Structure 1
Amino acid sequence: MATEIRQSVIRLARGLSAERPADGPSLDKSSVLGHLRRNGPMSAGALGAVDHRRPQSLTRVFAEPERDGLISRTRDSRDGRQRVPKLSEAGHEVLARGLAQRDVWLEFALADLAGTKRQLLLLAARPMNRLADRPSAAPGRTIPPS
Structure 2
Amino acid sequence: MFFPPPPDDDPAAELRRAVNRLARRMRAERPPDALPTGRLGVLAHLYRSGPSAPRAIAAALHVQPQSLTRTLAALTRDGMVSRTRDATDGRSQVLELTQAGFAAMARDVRYRDDWLRRRMDAELNGTERELLLLAAALLDRLADDGGE
TM-score range, shorter chain: 0.7 to 0.9
1:133–1:48 CA distance, 2 compared to 1 (3 A): farther
Residue 47 of structure 1 and its aligned partner are, at CA, apart by 1.7
1:65 aligned to 75, 86, 98, which one? 75
Determine which structure has more spread, i.e. the larger CA radius of gyration.
2
Q: Does 1:119 align with 2:130?
A: yes
> How many residues were matched structurally?
136
| Contact in 2 for aligned 1:66/1:73 (Cα 8 Å) | yes
1:75–1:24 CA distance, 2 compared to 1 (3 A): same
Give the counterpart letter for 1:44 in structure 2. Answer: P
More helix by share: 2
1:32–1:107 CA distance, 2 compared to 1 (3 A): same
TM-score (norm 1): 0.83
| Contact in 2 for aligned 1:76/1:83 (Cα 8 Å) | yes
Root-mean-square deviation (CA, aligned residues, Å) is 1.8
Identity among equivalent pairs (%): 48
Distance 1:134 1:98 in 2: 25
Hey, what does 1:109 align to over in structure 2?
A: 119
| Unaligned 5+ runs, structure 1 | 138-146
Q: Does 1:88 align with 2:98?
A: yes
TM-score (norm 2): 0.82
